[in-house]
Amino acid sequence: MNAQPILRLGFLLGTFEGIERMHASAWAPGGPAASVVVGRSEMNGDIVVQSYEQRRNGAASFRMFIVWMIHPDTGEVLHYGFDSAGFPADPPARGSWSGDKLTLVRVTPRGHSRLVVNEEPDGWAWSKSFRVRPEDDWSPVFDARFRIPGTADEQVDGG
């Protein structure tokens, strides 16, 4: 497979820290959470793999293993998130770029999720929203900015 398209996701590689703003939802209470994301290239550069850990009150509250890849036939970005909540990463979130924003959507029997990711000068940001049915309004789940350790302007302490 040609690794060139995956280069656009190169900003996800490395170690990053951030404070996530969690919105109250069916899955978690609202409030701040400290998160660390470590991304690396695998499979001869064809995929980006990230390990993610969210901490609240000094303890791990959520973990995820993320696989990013470019679909070889469609060019879509695929996001497989295997998380500590236990739901399978099937189907993956699928998306594409619009300018500097990558928007991915995933539809499951539980509802629709939308993840927006973008590169920033000293890291990257993401936000997730959810709705049960297509006609419902999107409700925010979380938003965060991740920075290379030592460049963040806010302390990572998890509330």
The CATH number of the domain holding residue 117 is 2.40.128.20
β-strands 101-108, 111-120 pairing = antiparallel
In a domain, 63, yes or no: yes
Is the Cβ–Cβ distance between 12 and 124 less than 8 Å?
yes
Model confidence at 156, in pLDDT bands (50, 70, 90)?
very low
Is the Cβ–Cβ distance between 149 and 158 less than 8 Å?
no
| Portion of the chain with pLDDT greater than 90, in percent | 80
Say which residues have a Cβ less than 8 Å from residue 4's Cβ, sequence separation at least 6: none
List, for residues 104-151, the tens digit of each pLDDT value.
999 999 999 999 999 999 999 999 999 999 999 999 999 999 999 987
Model confidence at 4, in pLDDT bands (50, 70, 90)?
low
In a domain, 68, yes or no: yes
**So what's the pLDDT on residue 148?**
93
Q: How many domains does the chain have?
A: 1
Q: Which H/E stretch holds residue 101?
A: strand 101-108
Angstrom distance (rounded) from CA 68 to CA 42: 10
Per the model's pLDDT, the better-predicted residue between 48 and 2 turns out to be 48
**What global pTM score does this model have?**
0.88
In a domain, 158, yes or no: no
Range of the domain at 107: 4-147
In a domain, 157, yes or no: no
**So what's the pLDDT on residue 6?**
76
